[in-house]
Amino acid sequence: MEKKWLFEYHTFLHHSQTDNLLTGQKMGLSTIHFYIILKLDIANNEIRFGLSTIHFYIILKPSRPSMKSRIV
């Protein structure tokens, strides 16, 4: 009998913000974590096992304003 492989998945986002402690500014790094959690499910035997997590993260850093963009 052929086994069918099924994956159940869940996704969630997590956001974190850090302060720039060296300069005392409140603007620091902003990180967005994106998780995909895969759960293996074998349909024929109804056995559920194994979790696999794929973790993506994006670090957002504020850019310095250029001299051209400053308002005088």
Q: Is residue 39 part of a domain?
A: yes
Residue 72 has pLDDT above 50, yes or no: no
Which pLDDT score, from 0 to 100, does residue 4 have?
A: 64
How many domains does one find in the chain? Answer: 1
Which pLDDT score, from 0 to 100, does residue 21 have?
A: 58
Residue 68 has pLDDT above 60, yes or no: no
Range of the domain at 22: 5-60
pLDDT digits (tens, 9 = 90+) for 19-60: 655 555 556 677 778 888 777 665 555 555 666 667 777 776
Q: Is residue 51 part of a domain?
A: yes
CA separation for the pair 24, 41 (Å, rounded): 50
Q: CA angle, corner 6, sides to 53 and 51, nearest 5? A: 25
- Please choose, from the candidates 22, 25, 28, 19, the residue with its C-alpha nearest in 3D space to the C-alpha of residue 59: 28
Which pLDDT score, from 0 to 100, does residue 45 have?
A: 58
pTM of the model: 0.41
